[in-house]
Amino acid sequence: MTPPGRQPVRRRTAALRRRAVLATVPLTVAALLGAAGPTAAGPTEAGAAGPGTIGAAGAGDPYFPLSGNGGYHVRHYGLALRYDTATRRLDGTAVLTARATQRLSRFDLDLTGLHVTRVAVGHDTARFRRDGQELVVTPARTLRRGQEFQVTVAYHGTPGPVSDPDGSADGWIPTDDGAFVAGEPQGAMTWFPANSHPSDKSSYDITITVPQGRTAVSNGTLVGQRTVHGRTTFHWRETRPMAAYLATATVGKFTVQRYTTPDGIRVYNAVDPREAAAAAPVLKKLPSVLRWESTLFGPYPFRSAGAIVDHAHDVGYALETQTRPLYDRAPDLATLVHENAHQWFGDSVSLTTWKDIWLNEGFATYAEWLYSEQHGGESAQQTFDALYATPAGDDLWAYPAGNPGSGANIFGTPVYARGAMTLHALRRAVGDRTFFRILRAWAGEHRYGHGTTAAFERLAERASGKDLTGLFHTWLETAGKPGHA
C-alpha cells in the first residue's frame, strides 16, 4: 500500500495495526534552511523606493521560510483555469484582491514552474521577475498602507508537483485521466500565484475548463457548469476563508453524486469509477459522520461537503481540502472521519505556523479514536494504552508533538499519534465534560480564523481551572517517551 520511500499513510486508526516505521529522511536543503531560521522572512532588501516598502519574501515561518509573503493580505482569489488533459497544459488567469498591510513598492507572490506572460496591478501593467518560488512584482505606483488592490497574473505551462522536505509530492500531480491537486504544505504555488501560507485565508472563485467528459472538482459549491464546443467549464465558489493549501482543482473521469443532508449541507461527491465499489459503503456514512462530528465539535463550519475519490495510489495520502476532502483511493471509514474532522481542526481553525501542525493532525487522529470508542470499537483509552506500550526507542517518541523540529517531520507519527495522546492525557486530567467543552470552545472561538498551541493551552487552563503547564510541557515539548502516562 505504501509506496517505497514514502511515509506510511498517517491518518488511520489502522495506523495502530499497520503502523509502519517512519522512514528516516535525510534533511533536505529546505529543511536545513528552515532549521537555520527565517532568513527570508524579514524585509531585508532596501530597494530604490527606500527601506520598509518591500514586502517580505516569506510569511516568517521557520519551517517554510519562503511560503507566503509579507506586506499584504489576500481577501479573494479569482482563478480562471483551463486544463488540457491530453497535453497536460494549464492556462490560467488569477485575479487576487488584496489589501496592503504596509506601504508597498514591491511585493512577492509564490509561484513555481509555469510561464508568466503578464502581471497587472489595478489597470496598470506591472514589472515582474522570477526568483525561485517568488514572483516579484513591482507595481507602477507604490501602494499605500491599507490600500485595496487587484493583481492579475496571466500564466501557462505544464504544472507538476513540488517535492516536500519529507520526500512526498504535493501540488499539481498529473494522473492518467487528469490531475490530483493537493497543496499541503507547499503545493498551491504549483498551479496558481498565491500568498501560500495558512496565516492568510481568503475566499475563492475557481473556474476550470476541461475536455467534455472530464469533471473538474474544487471547493465549496458548484455555481455553474456549461459545455461549449467540446469543453466543460465548472465554476466553484468557496465564500468561507480558506488557506491556499486547502484549495483544489482536481480533474478526472468521475461519477458525480449530489444531495442535501437533512441538516442542509450540500454534498457533492466525485468518484473515479475504478474506486466506486470500495468507496460506496464508506461515502454512504458521510452525513452521519458529519452529524456525529457536529455534536462533538459544534456546528459544521461550511455550507458544502463531499468527497473527491481519485485513483492515484502513488500519491500515498489524502488531504482535507476545504469542504471536500481529496482521497487518492477509496477511503476507509477512519480516514473519512479524519479528513472531515479537519474541517473543524485545520480548515476552519487554521495554523498560524507549521510548527503547530499537531493542532491539525493530533485532533483529526483523536477524532478517529473517539469515533471508534463511540461506535463499538476500541476505547480511546485502549488506543492510548497500546501506543504507550511502544518501547522508548520507537519512532513514536522521536520528537515531541508540539515541536517537530523541521518541515521534514510535520507528517510524522509523533505529530499524529502522540498529538492524539496529548489530547487523551488532557481528557483524563480535566474529565470528559470539561474536555469536550474545550474541543467545542476551540472550534467555536477560532472559527474561520487561526489558532496557536499557546492559545489552546490557555483555553484548556481557563476551562478547567487547572494548571496544565506540566502536562503540555511533557506531551508537546519534551523529547523522548513520557515517564508516566
Residues forming the site for ligand TRP (CB under 6 A): 10-11, 164, 166, 168, 170, 184, 317-320, 338-339, 361, 411
User: Residue 226 CB, nearest distance to Zn ion (Å)?
Assistant: 35
Q: Which does 317 bind (CB under 5 to 8 A by kind): ligand TRP, Zn ion, none?
A: ligand TRP
Binding partner at 355 among Zn ion, ligand TRP, none, C-beta below 5 to 8 Å by kind: none
How far apart CA 112 and CA 117 sit, in angstroms, is: 14
* C-beta closer to ligand TRP: residue 184 or 275: 184
- CB nearer to Zn ion: give 139 or 198: 198
364 part of the interface to Zn ion, by CB under 5 A: yes
Nearest to ligand TRP of 67, 102 (CB atom): 67
Nearer to Zn ion, 16 or 364 (CB): 364
Q: How many CB atoms lie within 10 A of CB 283?
A: 22
Assess 214 for contact with Zn ion (CB under 5 A).
no
Quick one: what does residue 168 bind among Zn ion, ligand TRP, none, with the CB cut-off 5 to 8 Å set by partner type?
ligand TRP
Cβ atoms of residues 214 and 232 within 8 Å: yes
State the minimum distance, in angstroms, from the CB of residue 357 to ligand TRP. Answer: 9
Minimum distance between the CB of residue 87 and Zn ion, rounded to whole angstroms? 34
184 binds, among Zn ion, ligand TRP, none (CB under 5 to 8 A by kind): ligand TRP
Sheet of 250-252: strand order equals 161-163, 169-175, 178-182, 250-252, 215-217
Which of 8, 11, 22, 242 binds Zn ion (CB under 5 A)? It is: 11
Nearest to Zn ion of 11, 427 (CB atom): 11
The entry of Zn ion, ligand TRP, none near residue 446 (CB within 5 to 8 angstroms by kind) is: none
361 belongs to the binding site for Zn ion (CB under 5 A): yes
Closest CA to 472 of 430, 431, 440, 426: 426
- Structure-block grid coordinates of residue 209: 475548463
| Residue 150 burial (CB count, 10 A) | 14
Contact status: 184 vs Zn ion (CB under 5 A): no
Strand order, beta sheet including 107-110 = 107-110, 134-138, 127-131
Give the range of 93-101, 128-136, 220-228, 362-370 binding Zn ion by CB under 5 A.
362-370
Per partner kind, with CB cut-offs from 5 to 8 A, the member of ligand TRP, Zn ion, none near residue 319 is: ligand TRP
Compute the C-alpha angle 105/109/112, nearest 5°.
140
Termini Cα distance of the chain: 32
80 burial (CB, 10 Å; 0-12 / 13-18 / 19+) is middle
Q: Which secondary structure element, helix H or strand E, spans residue 210, and what is its range?
A: strand 201-211
Which residues are within 8 A (CB) of 289 and not within 5 positions of it... i.e. 6 or more apart?
333, 336, 337, 340, 371
Q: Least CB distance from residue 419 to ligand TRP, whole Å?
A: 11
Instruction: Please tell me the total number of residues recorded for the chain in this structure.
Output: 485
Instruction: Please identify which residue in the block is written with the cell numbers 488592490.
Output: 149
**What are the residues whose beta carbons fall under 8 Å from the beta carbon of 242, sequence distance 6 or more?**
201, 202, 203, 204, 219, 322, 347
**Greatest extent of the chain over all pairs of C-alpha atoms, in Å:** 67
Min separation Cβ 279 and ligand TRP, Å:
17
Interface stretch with Zn ion, choices 10-18, 105-113, 235-243, 385-393 (CB under 5 A): 10-18
- Shortest distance (Å) from residue 267 CB to ligand TRP: 19
**Closest C-alpha among 335, 330, 334 to residue 275:** 330
Size of the site for Zn ion (CB under 5 A): 3
Give me the least distance between CB of 10 and ligand TRP, in Å please: 5
Residue among 205 and 339 whose Cβ is closer to ligand TRP: 339
- Contacting positions for Zn ion (CB under 5 A): 11, 361, 364
